[in-house]
Amino acid sequence: MKEYMKLTHFKKSDTLVSLFVDSEGLKNEILLNNCLYSIAKQTHQVDLVVMYNNLTQDEISLLEGYLKNPILTISKKEDDQTINEKIELVGEEKLNFHLTNGDAVNFSQIFNRGFNYATQNEYEFYSIIEQEDALHIKWYDYSSTYFKENSTISISLPLIRNVINGMFNGIIGEAAWVEGLAEEAGVLDINLLLRYNIVNILGAVFKVESVKENSEQKEDGFYYPFKESFRLTHIYEFFLRMIYNDLKVQTIPRIGYELKMVGKPYFSETSSKVPQNISVLAPNLGGVPQNEIQFYVDLAKKEYFFDKDRNVIFKS
């Protein structure tokens, strides 16, 4: 087992958050800084492992600067002009972060590497976020409280404020609270998920031991909660499998996460955000044909019975 995952003298929290940053994320300085600021301001302190791939040394230095001093930018209208107000961390506030080359090419690998940092360093909880997004500063506090009050919960989900190109577009995750949809109010069940693929993984908090017990452990000693052979629907299959294996997944009735869909002319597999137009994008821009999309939707509903990745591959 690789020793680089041992974070000596780093751990200060019971919760590890993972974040992947690429060169496109670095170009959007305001969104990335706002994301990092929201982590640093958490009322329940968390540790942060930041992974990257194929960054130049200058880009790595720029990212380190953001991590050491994230600055929140708030846009305000004054006299028909937009003014950006910048807010820095104060006093002892700072990010406790570990920056590393993630050596990951898709979201499944990013999740799995972050999860193994959590297992190797004996964290109780693990969470994953994305570089354009932001957290409510009390989200991990809310989650910690719910875990303490209900020991049967293995995964907690936030209500998500969905923003598309800067415009509010609704709340994600409230379906489990709709009367008549879930067997237990607020709790995802297998019948609900098989009818509707309504679950989002960003900001979710996972009880590490519970997920580890229901994940494949390979010869390298690492755990693989996500099946890396899935090109799409890996999140859907993961939640179907966890719930099938009797893990309790509860949506906490608090807005804890802001998911920002930023218009891009391509799809990057390092993100969990699949664009609605993915089937019409060119293959070199990450496009996936409709028949392959349907293949992975059907595959998720077949493979969640198996903890091991059986490496079923789409054949055109």
DSSP 266-311: S--TTSS---TTGGGS-GGGT---HHHHHHHHHHHHHHTT-SS---
- Type and span of the H or E element at 244: helix 234-244
pLDDT at 78 over 80: no
pLDDT at 82 over 80: no
What gap in Å lies between CA 278 and CA 232, rounded to an integer? 11
This prediction has a pTM of 0.95
User: For position 104, what pLDDT does the model report?
Assistant: 87
3-state secondary structure of 309: coil
What gap in Å lies between CA 316 and CA 307, rounded to an integer? 26
What gap in Å lies between CA 158 and CA 21, rounded to an integer? 22
Domain boundaries, the chain: 12-303
Query: Residues 138-152: pLDDT tens digits?
Result: 999 999 999 999 999
Superfamily in which the 12-303 domain is placed by CATH: Spore Coat Polysaccharide Biosynthesis Protein SpsA; Chain A (3.90.550.10)
User: For position 165, what pLDDT does the model report?
Assistant: 83
CA atoms within 13 A on the CB side of 156: 28
Pick 164 or 60 by higher pLDDT. 60
